[in-house]
Structure 1
């Protein structure tokens, strides 16, 4: 069931408050609606972003940036068009050159980290990609291909989730209590028969949320790979950011022109859990975490390679295999790469929205990190160029 703002507010006993009562402009929403309808940024010209409360300021700044890019996209081709698509989906401070540098730097860092972890386990032969392929194929980490095996995988995920739930207040500060009322569960027999993939049910005050995990091809989901999925899909990941965004009620133009933020938060949440020590004494779990991040980084590099460097699908596949060995469970190469080819700049923008979020967080003093997380969650999604202004959102 989709979580609506009306359901969430009703469950919390909160009445919608007019924007002007919060110090905002009560006519901004109408102006944004008009701009959404005809694409004309002139509707927004009279508003002063500095005088607006945080949510309205984000709505206005995001709409202005996105509409300006759309106007340029109308006539852009080739590399210019790719650049504009990248900026439309992440932020105006993101360029292909900076994206390539940052993703390459992260690839090198993650590869070195995985190599160190593999060596600690005595796995020294072959490239990191080859060692990941061997680790995925090692049957000692596979759950049985049975109902009992799938039940065990979900039980293990929920144990990880219980520990993550207890750490949310220390990591993120206060969040609506219903955000914590979430579990992992299996696809039902009917869903499996229908070929349905994994999905999320966002929590509301009336109903718990869930990450419904796809375990059909359970041999591709070794035990060490699932902890990172818990932190990304559940806590402190999507089950905090997405329901809090429902409460924030961003204008549709903000949802349109900051589409990469939800995945950015999920990836950042994986790192946040790792920095909190969840993999201490668990090198296999840390390898699983590193593989998920490698998957995100290398997809972004494949996006650049296909659209800017002229890579064929086969070239991109060979490079991904060399870098990460195995694909993410839900994105096998034969499905994901044609999609990347059809959706230029999408995976690169998601990766940059995440890395810019992580880089901004790294510059925040540890004593103020919770305040930063509150600012990044409370008002819904945002574009990368406003991350650095987080103090005005707190």
Structure 2
């Protein structure tokens, strides 16, 4: 059986002799390593994040004394604590890892674990992927993140472990997006992962569905609307089987509204507007929410004269998410700005307002600014 990427499945990884608890010292009241490690495993089982961090730290500090700082067991204990810190950061920051003292500590733990692995394990052992990925998540240095992620991808490919390749490439895509190192090669990681998941996993596997969403979103951004529609419809189909609404299902509907509106297929766009309004997480008193907005054209005559301005409008969103009765409340700069604003606003689409769980008309206001850069 091939080794798998342990860190990504959040499994406590230590030698088997760690699992046997020994009693607390009855004289001093101090907790020994085995008891701390048992408490850690119980916290993981109960998904108690606060206790996971507490006992992961305790097990690491006691284990380092028991096994030695340069032992594989201590390295794995270090990663347990580091992973707990990363999980808490994501929990507190909407899925993102935000640099603070704790995350810096996690980075140091991953560094120490990697140093031990390089000393103790064969070159390019697949176990290197765990600390490498951890470092990419915790470092603020984008260049360093790219370096360790590319090393992790090379190791996964050398091990011929396709699912691990897909997982690391997906992580690399998300970590490097928005940095100076995002390019066509990094974008291709998402497509590579999608191809692997489609060939290796059933259609309802969560990793495959998430990869399908990303595949659809990227194709939409690239203007490949047919591929995007096929992928996004598949995402919605799979998530509708769940008893709750997943954020990717919401985003898939929103992207389809955008695509269909650009194609002039208003009926299809309306279907997805209404579907969003009916999704489980939404409050029954949900206000209308914008899904598709196109900016107004800048009047050429005004641009030539260097004119700038703004327009404030009020409008109604009907039960199907269409904008109706746009009215200018105030403006600056000239009537052409008002004309272009009304024309653009008429093309906008919304998830409709819901009152007592039923779609209803609602009013809204917006200010559109016209500035020359």
Give your verdict on TM over 0.5.
no
Higher helix share: 1
Q: Give the structure with higher Rg (CA).
A: 2
Q: Which has the higher contact order (CA 8 A, sep 6+)?
A: 1
If the TM-score is normalised by the length of the shorter chain, which range does it land in? under 0.3
Give TM-score, length-normalised by structure 2: 0.23
